Amino acid sequence: MLKRRPWDGYVPEGEQETYRLAGLGHAGGVGKRPALLVIDVQYRSVGDRPQPIREAIRQFPTSCGEAGWKAVEPIAVLIEQFRRNGWPVIYSYVAPKLAYDRDRFAAKVPAVMDIPAHGYDFVREVAPLPSDICVPKKHASAFFGTPLATYLIGLGIDSLVLAGCTTSGCIRASAIDACSLNFKILIPEEAVFDRSPTSHAVNLFDLSSKYADVMPTQDMRKLLDGLPT
């Protein structure tokens, strides 16, 4: 019996079969030197406590609500594994918007300009340590306009595990850029989240088909345990 995937029930089986017939979705594998990239796990993305999304967005319009809080524990488990093994943990996070940051994205989503200052704080359970690398960003991709690629090359990284949000936005944009830069990409299913279950599922399917290896967090942890520390 095939293992149920996050996109089952969202992407019709006929479309999944078409992708398989086209040869999409093969495993990309993992290299020998991974890094964990934690994207936008800030209170602006989850709210200050678990709430249904329509309640959470009253506090922060950018919040993903309960879906974000469900991902916090799997992200924390991955962070602990990476730190224990001496692998880099990198935080890409939304920098506060300034008056002159009113770009096209801000015009499309004006609510991003009005987040209270404490919304930019990291969620305490998964906050960085002084030894971790923090990379502020202004756009969806963790690579666009940042020194992230330079850090990864300097550290000899060949594989990136992506965690955080949103699956359809910053995770997707960062995965595509990372793939274009020839990094192997892994996405733990439970450690990424989105405000829309449909967008989350469909984008995981598309990322798994073209850019990344998407798998349960437990399976990924076992895979990583086989690497040299």
- Give the global pTM: 0.94
Residue range 152-161, pLDDT digits in tens: 999 999 999 9
Task: Report the alpha-carbon distance of residue 204 to residue 168 in Å, rounded.
Answer: 8
What pLDDT score was predicted for residue 101? 66
What is the total residue count of the chain? Answer: 229
The structural domain count of the chain equals: 1
Domain membership of residue 23 (yes or no) is no
What is the domain range of residue 162?
31-225
Nearest to 193 by CA among 87, 91, 30, 40: 40
In this structure, is residue 26 part of a structural domain?
A: no
Task: Kindly list the catalytic residues.
Answer: 170
Kindly state whether residue 164 falls inside one of the protein's structural domains: yes
In a domain, 82, yes or no: yes
pLDDT in tens, 166-218: 999 999 999 999 999 999 999 999 999 999 999 999 999 999 999 999 999 99
What pLDDT digit, counting tens, does each position of 97-141 carry? 665 666 777 677 767 767 888 999 999 999 999 999 999 999 999
| CATH code assigned at 86 | 3.40.50.850
